[in-house]
Structure 1
């Protein structure tokens, strides 16, 4: 009897499955047991072929060879992992292999990783699919008990192929057209360009904004503070003279409480995390980039197995997960969570619609803890922060609502109305989980900062007299829209219809298709915009560069609209459900690529390098460009084919000994110096390091082991992604 081959996406996943399936023989690129053989990819091993595979003349970038529209897209082995592909191929071609179980990531891209390898190898034996949301032993055992026929996922594979081919056709054609037309390293795509357009439009809104002065009036009694309001409940006064008249009218006056309104309120826990919400919160609370949060999540999912699959767009769990909740609660009943988790376990878990809803789940449920218990001290600080966030949200949804009495007081003072608000907590409910968390409340960029704040109010009733100890007139200004940071940019990508004017039907389309990009790709898209130097950071704020602004002026208008990609995602979804033919979609993409290239060819616009320096490239002699990246400043050669770059300075985690701000490292080799941009402290790298070593004891052995372990784990993350590998060859770096 032959053996069953299991194809995993990464070596770490292969090891987890191998442990469960008792595959104890270690081969060069496989694990083997009595019944199973397990091999693994390294992310994508196979991708779409470069243009020159179809025609050698396409190796040279020229407007004359555009558009590039292959009749049939070919696959090629990615060179940097070709040796490993060869080893995987040998295992898949073994005569004793009777069938294959595809165990790559349970998502559209994971399907593509495995199926492209299968296709390139020419594997023609029966295929089954393993579809699990966590890497615990229990999840793997359960997954192998309910394997699905591989044919059930052929439509998902077709959808993934269409996505990849569309990105090739649009991305490579438009990128070459722009680069050749304007002699600059420019790139455009169906997702990144609308996002860049939104960032630039926000910047234009800020520039167009003209602040207006306005006034608010507050009156203080000996016990509490009230705020003036007009008959419509508005506290802003834009007429200075009127504001002063009100001030004079009420200063030193007494009044009466004319209304005391008490309302019992309930506030339910926020929904469980999907990836985008977790990335948004982690950026707001800890300043982690979307990419960093995803990387941390991957380690918690794959290496530690304490969290479920991270690349999910659902904030609910399915009813079949409910029986596993007690074990998950036991796994997190440590430290500060022990009392809360045990309290939930003592009572019957109420699986209400606030977190259990089969109808609101697509491929994966929300991110929740697994049944795996671990010593949290084994996690580094970043891992601990993310794990804690998920645990808190998980516990919250199973706790009662936060209940309070909302009190609103209305007073009349010499004919003018003043109000105050207070809150009496009746039951903390789910907020007990966040007792020590100052970052619970979300920052709302549209929130009225001058709105009434809750305060402790004395016992007061209608008809009571009040008198002002003081009355103050506050002069304020209306504020422009805030710039995007990574958290708010993720929100804009998820719901672009809120940021772009369009009719209700188009807005509905965007809402239904999940916005720009997917939970799995949004972090990479933001990173690409930084790496192409279209955007840069100013503190936490994201601002467009001159290059980014010019690109948006040069690309065809249709490519700037978020609606275009929303329509595509809807069609890809239909393909994945077998309701649309993939060939029809790809044919449309070819026609669209042809149209876009024609628009670029006929354009009369110009591109100007306004970051050109006097430094000449040591390789080709052309003048270099100075650019800012997320890690510092660098010089890059303006010639796309040369691609030489030199680091001018980079931001570090070293702290200034005088003001404790992060230091910038400038220069090359022996001449490197640390510079503080805040207080202008300067010190040579060599003397700084010497002083640092003298002032610090040797690192604890355990800390060193944890650091080495972390590096090892990070080295096991996916090496390749299909399109990014193809686009990396375009050298879009200035």
Structure 2
């Protein structure tokens, strides 16, 4: 049984829908060419049901616009009915998200109103677990108790090669829960015992290693890098890629969750590389170094999902005609594509273990033998694709051999402070959204979510989709749940209170895992969408009833309006990322507003009444206030406001009693 809620055409899509409906009347058969995934299947099936289409319907699966791929797909049409499970699963998820979000949001919001909170407490299958990630990280950070551990480093000279090495923990050493030296005196004793002693190499090994270039971008990885490098917001990056795709025709489909390309796309490399060089002159030299015959791991048709990775097209443009932000995003996408045609980065990795005074120390070094694709990324600090072990050294220790001896020239014990897991930044939060399985509270469901993205690099047990994550995060900011503190993202006090009132299934990613498990049965035809929604209705009914009966049991931080006493509410300014606070008594005439700082209202500075100038109407003292227009202007008002609304113009810092006004400006 299918749901297919009665559809109503979206106003901005109605004209296009009319064209499709007219064409269906002229057709003898239909081919569903929607994206080869659940949402793409549903999108076309909904139109066919809305049209009452009785024609034979075939299905073509195209995830690459390469001509060879398209022709092959057209030669392998299948009956559309074979994909009914895809459509049913997408429909169940869509209706379920609405049913769950609408009802839970309304229940919690109304319960909060009874506690004096005037905002909206929105609940969503994806939104609320994201909030949960931030709340739990904040609390772990605040609860961290500082402790100390100790690192012993020896400095050695063997056959003229000087290098540092770190002490290796031995049986009987006092250590903390992470296996680090925990006793200062013990660590210092080790340093003293090896200093000046003969050192001997007990093992030496050099291996030739290589590193593949980073895969091309999917939207999330692009948003992560743009946030890390340029401080861009996720929704900003999505909008920029939309413009690069639709306005400038410079990149392929931009909302992809895939980092791979089809095997057939490898043949497009010469044309794409030439287009990049023509558009971005700074890449003209490296284009000559790129080898289109090289085929990186990115070219693998078996790993392409509904869409392939985001790459440049063969279209060209004047780079200077693009905005600064568009240029930055295009160059990131272009660099990642070019890297696929550079040799692998190759290096020798040498590991030494030495012994001095009965204690062992180890060191590892990496020496590049072929730079390869890394030449494109040398100035990209913070890129996780480039990060090595922080303990590796740059000294070339390859010539050293087992059995050689030298001297420990120095040794020291350094105290280190334990650190909590850092607060989220936009980049690290986005990264975590693709690997939330580790945060699922139920062991069985955790395995389900791990299975969900098995074999898919770039989407490791994630939550949300490339098309929705940015808007969901933006909503959390607009609701006042998330706040930016410098580069960090933290939860607001009201968000933490709200989090505590929610059931675990809502604030952990468990529900996404549970839905995925149930939708697998819908895909297989073992269950229909109706039964899924009915089960969800029963769950939501129980949760709404619990909230109605028990309330929220929390106290929200209410900020009273200094003018009328009603609660203040946090609002987002139009067309900016800034917030302000306004009085909820606005409709009753209170116009008070003030700035926002870290999610809290900043009271307006109190205006001091003059000891000299008094109102000519009531005799009370006057106050000099800043005017709204022009900037830098002032006026005088009566301290008896609102009983006395008399105001005076300001002339050289004094009230002009000869030219008074009769009503107070709106800024009082």
- State the TM-score, normalizing by the size of structure 1: 0.68
Residue aligning to 2:165:
226
d(CA) in 2 for partners of 1:151, 1:641 = 54
Tell me how far apart the structure 2 counterparts of residues 190 and 282 of structure 1 sit (CA, whole Å). Answer: 26
Q: 1:555 aligns with which of 502, 505, 510?
A: 502
Is residue 421 of structure 2 the alignment partner of residue 481 of structure 1? yes
Contact 2:261–2:299 (8 Å) recurs in 1: yes
Equivalent residue number for residue 614 of structure 1: 561
Matched, 1:388 2:331: yes
The residue aligned with 1:295 is: 239
How far did 1:109 drift?
A: 5.1
Distance 1:180 1:93 in 2: 43
Query: Is 1:166 aligned with 2:96?
Result: yes
What whole-Å deviation, never above 9, does each CA across 1:182-228 have from its counterpart, x for those lacking one?
Answer: 21421111111122122212222223322211121223457433332
Q: Cα distance, 1:597 vs. partner?
A: 1.0
CA distance in 1 between counterparts of 2:303 and 2:519 reads 19
Q: 1:98: which partner in 2?
A: 26
Give the corresponding residue for 2:210. Answer: 266
Q: Residue 215 of structure 1: SS of its match in structure 2?
A: strand
Q: 1:305 and 2:249 equivalent?
A: yes
Is residue 207 of structure 1 aligned with residue 154 of structure 2? no
Partner of 2:260 in structure 1?
A: 316
Written as runs of structure 1 = structure 2, the 5 A alignment for 1:328-407 is 328-334=272-278, 335-345=281-291, 348-350=293-295, 354-407=297-350
Distance (whole Å) between structure 1 residues aligned to residue 284 and residue 227 of structure 2: 27
Indicate the larger mover: 562-571 or 478-487: 562-571
Deviation at 1:140, TM superposition (A): 13
CA distance in 1 between counterparts of 2:350 and 2:545 reads: 64
Contact 1:273/1:390 (8 A) holds in 2: yes
Which whole-Å CA distance do the structure 2 matches of 1:507 and 1:644 have between them? 54
Q: Would you say the 8 A contact 1:191–1:516 is kept in 2?
A: yes
Q: Secondary structure at the match of 2:560?
A: strand
Please say if 1:568 is aligned against 2:496. no
- Asked whether 1:413 is paired with 2:359, we answer no
Counterparts of 1:622-701 in structure 2 under 5 Å?
622-626=566-570, 631-638=577-584, 648-649=594-595, 669-670=628-629
Quote the residue 1:592 is aligned against.
Answer: 539
| Contact 1:272–1:315 (Cα < 8 Å) also in 2 | yes
Q: Distance in 2 between matches of 1:140 and 1:647?
A: 59
Give me the whole-angstrom Cα distance separating, in 2, the residues matched to 1:275 and 1:470. 50
What is the Cα deviation at residue 345 of structure 1? 4.5
1:290-348, CA deviations, whole angstroms, 9 ceiling, x for partnerless residues? 222222222222222222212222222223333333322332245343444444446x3
Q: 8 Å contact 2:365–2:395 — kept in the other structure? A: yes
Indicate if the aligned counterparts of 1:314 and 1:366 stay in contact, CA closer than 8 A: yes
Distance 1:485 1:192 in 2: 17
Runs of 5+ consecutive residues of structure 1 not aligned to the other structure: 1-70, 652-666, 674-734
Secondary structure of the residue aligned to 2:341 is coil
Q: Tell me how large the CA RMSD over aligned residues is.
A: 4.1
- Partner residue of 2:434? 494
1:53-68 maps to which residues of 2 (within 5 A)?
Answer: none
* 8 Å CA contact 1:333, 1:341 repeated in 2: yes
Of 448, 472, 488 in structure 2, the residue corresponding to residue 541 of structure 1 is 488
Give matches, 1:689-728, under 5 Å. Answer: none
Separation in structure 2 between the aligned mates of residue 124 and residue 273 of structure 1, nearest angstrom: 41
Equivalent-residue separation in structure 1 for 2:479 and 2:425 (angstroms): 18
Q: Does 1:283 align with 2:227?
A: yes
More displaced stretch, 110-119 vs 581-590: 110-119
When Rg is computed on C-alpha atoms for both structures, the one with the higher figure is 2
Contact 2:4 2:91 in 1 (8 A): no
* CA distance in structure 1 between the partners assigned to 2:578 and 2:194 by the alignment: 56
Contact preservation (8 Å) 1:134, 1:309: no
1:328–1:371: 8 Å Cα contact kept in structure 2? Answer: yes
Q: Which residue of 2 aligns with 1:196?
A: 131
Deviates more, 1:167-176 or 1:506-515: 506-515
Q: Is the 8 A contact 1:112 1:160 kept in 2?
A: yes
> Do the aligned partners of 1:615 and 1:624 also contact (CA within 8 Å) in 2?
no
**Shift in alpha-carbon separation, 1:140–1:471, aligned structure 2, 3 A:** closer
Unmatched runs of 5 consecutive residues or more in structure 2: 454-460, 598-625, 633-668
1: CA distance, partners of 2:445 / 2:17: 49
Q: 1:521 is matched with which residue? A: 468
TM-score, reference length from structure 2: 0.74
* 8 Å Cα contact 1:261/1:408 also seen in 2: yes
Given that 1:133 and 1:308 are in contact with CA atoms closer than 8 Å, whether structure 2 keeps it comes out as no
Q: Is the 8 A contact 1:159 1:572 kept in 2?
A: yes
Aligned-pair distance for 1:643? 13
What is the CA–CA distance in structure 1 between the aligned matches of 2:200 and 2:222, rounded to whole Å? Answer: 48
SS in 1 for 2:538: helix
| C-alpha contact 1:135 1:305 (8 A) present in aligned 2 | no
SS at match of 2:26: strand
CA distance in 2: counterparts of 1:364 and 1:643, whole angstroms: 53
CA distance in 2, matches of 1:86, 1:103: 20
Q: Deviations over 1:241-271 (max 9, x none)?
A: 1012122223344433443321211222233
Q: CA, structure 1 residues 92+255, in 2 after alignment: closer, same or farther (shift >3 Å)?
A: closer
